[in-house]
Amino acid sequence: MTNEVYSPGLEGVIAGETAISTITGGLSYRGYSIEDLAAHATFEEVAYLILYGDLPKRGELDAFNKRLGAAATVAPQVIDALRLIPPKASFMDVMRSGASFLAHFDPDAGDNSHEANLRKAERLLAQMPTVLAARHRLRSGQQPVAPDAKRSLSGNLLWMLWNEPPTDRAERAMDVSLILYAEHEYNASTFTARVIASTMSDLHSAVTGAIGALKGPLHGGANEAVMDVLAEVGSADKAEKWIRDALAAKRRIMGFGHRVYKHGDPRATYLKTLCAELAVETGHQDMERMADVIESIVVGEKKLPPNLDWPSARLYHYLKLPVDLYTPLFVVSRVVGWSAHVIEQSDNNRLIRPRARYTGPEAKKFVAVEKR
Ligand SMILES: CC(C)(COP(=O)(O)OP(=O)(O)OC[C@H]1O[C@@H](n2cnc3c(N)ncnc32)[C@H](O)[C@@H]1OP(=O)(O)O)[C@@H](O)C(=O)NCCC(=O)NCCS
């Protein structure tokens, strides 16, 4: 039986059920508001919450952190493979290949049980930061820095990128951005992951596919596009003219608008404050002013509020991270949400296979090649 209701882009369509997160009444993960989590939790606590369904007790958290620390070292062949990827490859393509390549060395490859999926999810969560940092250093002609199991995931990530310990504020800023990126219901990449999982494929395949979906500028790629916009504007005094010209030219302004948050993205509101604090510490007040001018005009003229990518791009810039790492950082965090959705889908699976409305020609008779 075909239900003839059709919504372009599946807008407003309920495509499945989930107990992982909801955007109703603000964004919450497993019942906890993201504001509460971003203010009080660590990224590891949030990752545990999303994967296992509840906040960890002390002993559970310590054991989780220990497992992540132990899993962060990747097989040497993975580092060798990163060396072989041409220097010009896009960083998101490297992340996609990295997730795929890690599958070959996972001891649970081929086991799609609930327990094995959790173990694979933990390993991917621990290993993707290592892949990201190693590739960044290799392409800059530097040797990769070994993961330090004593550090938090965010602290270790910055350590492996910089080969120097991050300040507490830098580590916390990274942690909060990862908390806010971790999970977001049935977004395009998560839906991709669930479709792949629904065929009874495996977790690494689902995450690899999800990375491909996240790469696009209408989804994860927007945080990099935002930075290109800010660089193009240049300074606060040029912001008003730039944005008025851009709106008059009907340009799509990256970092604004959202399919489901028509009245504001709660993650953007939260990160904006952190961004402003970090701007003062790192001497980027002019960029904050520039962003404020653009934001107030886009909101005022187009009624389009900023999404999470608007402040996160600046936050990563203030942390001195190269622009092409922004979407890969989103990957590092969203591995958690994707994995939880793969596990939820696999635990209660039905193949996802919608129908299409046919718009092609009427039935035709086959004509032999000589007679066409
Ligand atoms: C996220 C996004 C794809 C959601 O889009 P959507 O729900 O499919 O909405 P549409 O693309 O159909 O846009 C609806 C209208 O708003 C306008 N609009 C939406 N986002 C806009 C933006 N960032 N800048 C300018 N106009 C925008 C569209 O031009 C369209 O106007 P129209 O009806 O006059 O043609 C869209 O807002 C966008 O492209 N934003 C920029 C990219 C971005 O920041 N992505 C990250 C999302 S977290």
pLDDT, tens digit, 9 for 90 and up, residues 28-61: 999 999 999 999 999 999 999 999 999 999 999 9
Neighbours of 105 (CB within 10 A): 14
Pairing type for strands 28-29 and 21-22 reads antiparallel
* DSSP SS3 for 28: strand
Same domain, yes or no: 242 and 313: yes
Same domain, yes or no: 112 and 211: yes
d(CA 297, CA 247): 9
Spatial CA neighbour of 219 closest among 195, 189, 196, 193: 189
Residues whose beta carbon lies within 6 Å of some atom of ligand 1: 9, 218, 222, 252-259, 302, 304, 307, 309
Whether 76 is in a domain gets the answer: yes
Q: Is 184 a catalytic residue?
A: no
Same domain, yes or no: 277 and 259: yes
Two tokens at 43?
């990224």
Q: Give the pLDDT score at 2.
A: 58
The maximal CA–CA distance of the chain, rounded, in angstroms, is 77
Tell me the CA–centroid distance for residue 133 and ligand 1, in Å: 32
Which tens digit of pLDDT belongs to each residue from 237-290?
A: 999 999 999 999 999 999 999 988 888 898 998 899 999 999 999 999 999 999
d(CA 66, CA 247): 50
Q: What are phi and psi of 11, to 5 degrees?
A: -60, 130
d(CA 193, CA 229): 30
**Mean predicted confidence (pLDDT) in 90-98:** 98
Same domain, yes or no: 331 and 190: yes
**Mean predicted confidence (pLDDT) in 13-38:** 95
Which tens digit of pLDDT belongs to each residue from 153-175?
A: 999 999 999 999 999 989 999 99
Neighbours of 60 (CB within 10 A): 14
Same domain, yes or no: 313 and 335: no
**Mean predicted confidence (pLDDT) in 225-245:** 94
CATH of the domain at 210: 1.10.580.10
Same domain, yes or no: 73 and 188: yes
Same domain, yes or no: 248 and 140: no
Same domain, yes or no: 77 and 128: yes
CATH of the domain at 304: 1.10.230.10
Whether 5 is in a domain gets the answer: no
Whether 6 is in a domain gets the answer: no
**Mean predicted confidence (pLDDT) in 114-118:** 98
Q: Which of 318, 335, 357 is the last residue of a domain?
A: 318
Which tens digit of pLDDT belongs to each residue from 294-321?
A: 999 999 999 999 999 999 999 999 999 9
Q: What is the pTM of this model?
A: 0.93
pLDDT at 198 over 90: yes
Whether 355 is in a domain gets the answer: no
β-sheet bridge partners, residue 33: 28
Q: Give the pLDDT score at 176.
A: 96
Tell me the CA–centroid distance for residue 265 and ligand 1, in Å: 14
* DSSP SS3 for 352: coil
Catalytic residue among 258, 284, 317, 341: 258
Same domain, yes or no: 207 and 338: yes
Q: Which atom of ligand 1 is nearest to the CA of 260?
A: 7
Q: Give the pLDDT score at 261.
A: 87
Mean pLDDT rounded to a whole number for the chain: 95
Q: Is 258 a catalytic residue?
A: yes
Q: Give the pLDDT score at 98.
A: 98
Same domain, yes or no: 266 and 211: no
Spatial CA neighbour of 161 closest among 142, 175, 180: 142
Q: How many structural domains is the chain composed of? A: 2
% of the chain with per-residue pLDDT over 70:
99
pLDDT at 1 over 60: no
* DSSP SS3 for 32: strand
Q: Give the pLDDT score at 263.
A: 86
**Mean predicted confidence (pLDDT) in 17-35:** 96
**By CB neighbour count within 10 A (0-12 exposed, 13-18 middle, 19+ buried), where does 372 fall?**
exposed
Whether 152 is in a domain gets the answer: yes
Whether 208 is in a domain gets the answer: yes
Whether 62 is in a domain gets the answer: yes
Question: Domain containing 82: what range?
Answer: 15-168+183-216+327-347
Same domain, yes or no: 58 and 92: yes
Same domain, yes or no: 337 and 303: no
Q: Which atom of ligand 1 is nearest to the CA of 265?
A: 48
d(CA 249, CA 324): 27
Residue 36 CB-half CA count within 13 A: 9
Q: Which of 272, 300, 318 is the last residue of a domain?
A: 318
Whether 207 is in a domain gets the answer: yes
